[in-house]
Structure 1
Amino acid sequence: MRTLSYIFLFLLCTSTVKAQDSLFRLRKTLKITGAQLAVDNLDNLYVLSNNEQLKKYSPNGDSIAVYNEVKRFGKLHTLDATNPLKLLLYYKDFATVVILDRVLGLRASLDLRRHNIQQASAIGLSYDNNIWVFDALNYKLKKVDEQGNQLMETEDFRALFNTSFQPTTIIDQNNSLYLYDPAIGVYQFDHFGTFQKKYPITKWQNIAVVGKHIVGITGSALHAFNTSTLLQQQYQFPSSFGSFSQYIIGNTALFGLGKESVQVYSFQF
């Protein structure tokens, strides 16, 4: 019976549907350029420029603020814009998290190594405005505050899952915590670090959680995995999308970063 259940789950998870180009409707074009893009839950845009400045724009493309010290700790690894009031910049090579306020003013700088976290494979903002960190040396998920004080930690993931699961992305959304390892899948936890489910999602880029869907990009398509029905759908991008260097998935929009602009497309599953 268990084998039949696994087969049924596999069939559900691997079903795909290709949608027509009409799914993506151009909402607006913003004259914004840069090398990397992030979006918060209010559709404010954060753009890392080619000269290593971090710029914040309103949903209409109006300039709001600039942060000029992006290169202070080397190469920026992760930009978490979950909360527009608290931006996280993670520098993996130096295990350092820089915390900015809503106008990109420096709020705090946290050296994780000083708090016995030598290698963090991923960080993310928690629902209570603390910081989730996955410690890649001891395979534990930890929560720390801005001062680096440890608030909680999980068991060793190697004992919990019997695998070398190391997430590269942490998303705290919809009263759940999602950890993504592109080689293994998405693991869902509650806010106490208790494991709930595993989803067979691999090799996706720029994943996000939108309602009941885990969404991501592969090549020229958007994928959506419904966590309630376990159905996966694939939506092929129109040929006009070919010039974008990066895609970001927001709550109600898809953002494409081009050479001369950011194009915003509405979509609905």
Structure 2
Amino acid sequence: MIKQVIFFSFVFAFSVSNAQTKSYKMVQKHQLKAEYCELDQLNNLYIVKKGEVLKLDADGVELNRFSDKRIGEAVLLDVSNPMKVLLYSPDQMMLYTLDSRLGELSERINWFESGYEQISLVATSHSNGMWLYDPINFVLIRLNEKLEEQTRSLSLSQLFRQELNPTDLIEVNNKVYLTDPNHGVMEFDVFGNYLRKIPIKEIDRLVVNDNRLFYSENQKLEAFNLYDGSIERVEIPIDEQETFAANRNRVLITRQGDVFIYQALR
């Protein structure tokens, strides 16, 4: 295990010194007073405002809107599957499942009423399942499409011998990623077994696409290749207060409520 950690750290350091650069061009700007945004694989934009989620097409034209003042301001939006969007209000412990038109697909789920004391994170999983993070017991939980519990990880607090405060969760390519800004990004398999820790800290929201983990560093975006550990520098300026999203060919920046869209140059 020690050899693996040393080797991985060496690869990471070598990759940083040999980082590749990818250029982008700003193609759109929208004044939307957005709190934060998401971007799906079809280049649709999802704008989160207080009590609202707006869906815009690739040209910035509004397609659909979901409104519910009860969801509050601090919401999580998972657009990994554009046909089944997850909107979660941790404060209310309420999960909304939305279709491609932002209509409600099924009944809302109150996790407290479902027997969970607290659920802080929710994410889409394969086969119409979903992942939950229980911050009371420090465990990852996977539910199947019938909301039956299939997998429960070991206590992460006991595993790492430290208290964790994860801020985001995502499943990509049969891997599960959980980030704690103070400790780094933890990678698990789809059975909740811990695999490794990615040595990049201060990542609040997980943006993973095309096997790349995006993050901001020194007011620039960078992308860490999850397969080989190489680093790709993204020529887009970004401040610490700004949020971003990315897919295979676009990067979206939320800057003082305005939304800037950048297209990759080939």
- The equivalent position to 2:262 in structure 1, one of 253, 260, 265, is 265
1:157-212 Cα shifts (integer Å, max 9, x gaps): 23333332342211111121111111111111111112222211110243322223
Instruction: Summarize the alignment of residues 98-247 of structure 1 with structure 2, pairs less than 5 Å apart.
Output: 98-107=96-105, 108-145=107-144, 148-218=147-217, 220-235=219-234, 237-238=236-237, 245-247=242-244
Give the AA of the match of 2:252.
F
1:52–1:116 CA distance, 2 compared to 1 (3 A)? closer
Give the AA of the match of 2:131.
W
Unaligned runs of 5+ in 2: none
Give the AA of the match of 2:251.
L
* Contact 2:87–2:96 (Cα < 8 Å) also in 1: yes
Aligned-partner Cα distance in 2 for 1:11–1:268 = 31
Match of 2:38 in 1: 38
Aligned-partner Cα distance in 2 for 1:126–1:216 = 22
1:146–1:227 CA distance, 2 compared to 1 (3 A)? closer
1:55–1:4 CA distance, 2 compared to 1 (3 A)? closer
The SS at the match of 1:202 is: coil
Using the TM superposition, give the Cα deviation of residue 133 of structure 1 relative to its aligned residue in structure 2, in angstroms.
Answer: 0.4
Identity percentage of aligned residues = 24
What's the C-alpha RMSD, in Å, of the aligned pairs?
2.9
The SS at the match of 2:43 is: coil
* Contact 1:206–1:248 (Cα < 8 Å) also in 2: no
* Contact 2:129–2:147 (Cα < 8 Å) also in 1: no
Instruction: Summarize the alignment of residues 26-105 of structure 1 with structure 2, pairs less than 5 Å apart.
Output: 26=26, 28-31=27-30, 33-35=32-34, 36-49=36-49, 52-69=51-68, 71-105=69-103
Give the AA of the match of 1:88.
L
Give the AA of the match of 1:93.
D
1:84-123 Cα shifts (integer Å, max 9, x gaps): 1111111111211111111111223111112232222321
Using the TM superposition, give the Cα deviation of residue 30 of structure 1 relative to its aligned residue in structure 2, in angstroms.
Answer: 4.8
Aligned-partner Cα distance in 2 for 1:164–1:259 = 33
Unaligned runs of 5+ in 1: none
1:9–1:192 CA distance, 2 compared to 1 (3 A)? closer
The answer to which of 258-267 and 153-162 deviates more is: 258-267
1:97–1:170 CA distance, 2 compared to 1 (3 A)? same
Q: TM-score, normalised by structure 2?
A: 0.85
1:157–1:257 CA distance, 2 compared to 1 (3 A)? closer
Q: Quick check: 1:23 aligned with 2:20?
A: no
* Contact 1:207–1:217 (Cα < 8 Å) also in 2: no
1:267–1:165 CA distance, 2 compared to 1 (3 A)? farther
Task: Number of aligned residue pairs: give it.
Answer: 262
Aligned-partner Cα distance in 1 for 2:32–2:71 = 23
Aligned-partner Cα distance in 1 for 2:45–2:252 = 9
The answer to which of 138-147 and 198-207 deviates more is: 138-147
Aligned-partner Cα distance in 2 for 1:168–1:124 = 12
The SS at the match of 2:151 is: strand
Aligned-partner Cα distance in 1 for 2:176–2:219 = 27
* Contact 2:170–2:177 (Cα < 8 Å) also in 1: yes
Give the AA of the match of 1:39.
L
Match of 1:255 in 2: 252
The SS at the match of 1:38 is: strand
1:7–1:155 CA distance, 2 compared to 1 (3 A)? closer
Aligned-partner Cα distance in 2 for 1:161–1:259 = 37
Aligned-partner Cα distance in 1 for 2:30–2:104 = 27
Q: TM-score, normalised by structure 1?
A: 0.84
Using the TM superposition, give the Cα deviation of residue 52 of structure 1 relative to its aligned residue in structure 2, in angstroms.
Answer: 3.5
* Contact 2:72–2:89 (Cα < 8 Å) also in 1: yes
* Contact 1:29–1:261 (Cα < 8 Å) also in 2: no
